[in-house]
Structures are given as structure tokens and as C-alpha cells.
Amino acid sequence: MKKYIIAGFVAVVAVSTALAGTEAKKTVIPVEEPTCKFRDTEFQIDAFGTGAFYRQGNPGWGGGLGFNAFAWRYFGLGVEQMVVGNNNHGSEWGTIGNAFFRYPICSVNLAPYAMVGIGKLYGQGESVGLGHVGGGLEYRVTDHIGLFADSRWVYSPQLENSGGVLARTGLRFAF
């Protein structure tokens, strides 16, 4: 009888060690989705060079600064100050307000945008109201620095034979 008890005990110990082990714990590591460099709300500062190509000829060259605020990822408002000079007309100072409609493509850090706006040009003792419509492209190099280029058709009902293309290219700093 002693043999059966010892054999039973050995069998129980053998089976229990075979079934023993550590409890398997699964660790779930979250996969981070790539963040979009174009944030829902951001403030931007533009530093740009510009070229003005008028119907009358005589292209003008200059530069300026712009300030934009995006309250939503796809819509923003901005204001810009620029100066453009050419050989025949001297220089003009412009103040322009813009509305931006952009569509960020986050996978390639690119945002095409459309813009519409109004403003005034000041030069040689007179001021002229204007309106414009255009579009552009922005590429974000980092989360806070982008390169942009845009073009717009500018028209003023106050000037005869007015109209022309205003092109800008520059750096955009986003905060």
C-alpha cells in the first residue's frame, strides 16, 4: 500500500510540474500614427519675395511679410504687407487681407490651397483698392518651417486696363 501512495504522490508531482508555468501576459504596444505637420490651430509668419506682372508690362519686384491664423485645419485668415517696385512706376506699398482654404496631404507634408482677398495699393500719392483670387502650394520641411509658392490674379476696378498676376515665394514659420 505504501508503494501505491508513493507512486500516486510521484504521479501528482510529475503532472503538476508539467502543467505549471508562468502566466502569459500580453503587452500591447500602441502604434503611433504619423502626426500631421499642419495643425488644426496655428499661427504663421510669412517672409516672401514677390513679382508683379501687369497687363501694361513693366514687371515689378519686391518682398514682404504676412501673418496668418488658422482656427481650423482647412480655413484661415491672413494679412500681408509688401512693397513692389519697377522702373516706370516707382514703388507701391500694399496691404492685403486673405482668406485661405487649404487641404493638407499629411503623408507627404504638402498642402495645396486657394486664396481670395481684398486690399489697397499705395504709391505715388494715390491709393487703389484691389481684389484677388489665386492658389498655391506649401511644403512643410519640419513641424514649424515650410516653403510656399503661390500666384493670384489681381484686379482693380479703379484702374483702366488693370489686372495682372502677383506671384510670391518664401518661407513660412508656423507656431
pLDDT score of 21: 58
Task: Please give the model's pTM, rounded to 2 decimal places.
Answer: 0.78
**Percent of all residues in the chain with a pLDDT value above 90, rounded to a whole number:** 59
Which range, 19-23, 47-51, 91-95, has the best average confidence (pLDDT)?
47-51
161, part of any domain: yes
Could you give the number of structural domains in the chain? 1
| pLDDT tier, 96 (very low <50, low <70, confident <90, very high otherwise) | very high
The yes-or-no verdict on residue 91 having pLDDT over 90 is: no
pLDDT score of 31: 75
29, part of any domain: no
Is 76 or 164 the better-scoring residue by pLDDT? 76
Distance CA 46, CA 41 (A): 16
63, part of any domain: yes
99, part of any domain: yes
The yes-or-no verdict on residue 113 having pLDDT over 80 is: yes
Domain of 121: which CATH number? 2.40.160.20
pLDDT score of 66: 98
64-70 LR contacts (CB < 8 Å, sep 24+):
64/94, 64/168, 66/98, 67/43, 68/43, 68/44, 68/98, 68/100, 69/42, 69/43, 69/44, 70/39, 70/40, 70/41, 70/42, 70/43, 70/44, 70/100, 70/102
Question: CA quadruple 154, 158, 159, 160: dihedral positive or negative?
Answer: positive
| pLDDT tier, 3 (very low <50, low <70, confident <90, very high otherwise) | low
Q: pLDDT by residue (tens digit) across 50-67?
A: 998 877 777 889 999 999
Q: How far apart are the first and last CA of the chain?
A: 85
Distance CA 63, CA 129 (A): 19
| pLDDT tier, 14 (very low <50, low <70, confident <90, very high otherwise) | low
pLDDT score of 90: 77
23, part of any domain: no
pLDDT score of 22: 61
18, part of any domain: no
pLDDT score of 81: 97
pLDDT score of 123: 81
**Enclosing domain of residue 168:** 42-174
16, part of any domain: no
8, part of any domain: no
Mean pLDDT of the chain: 87
The yes-or-no verdict on residue 1 having pLDDT over 70 is: no
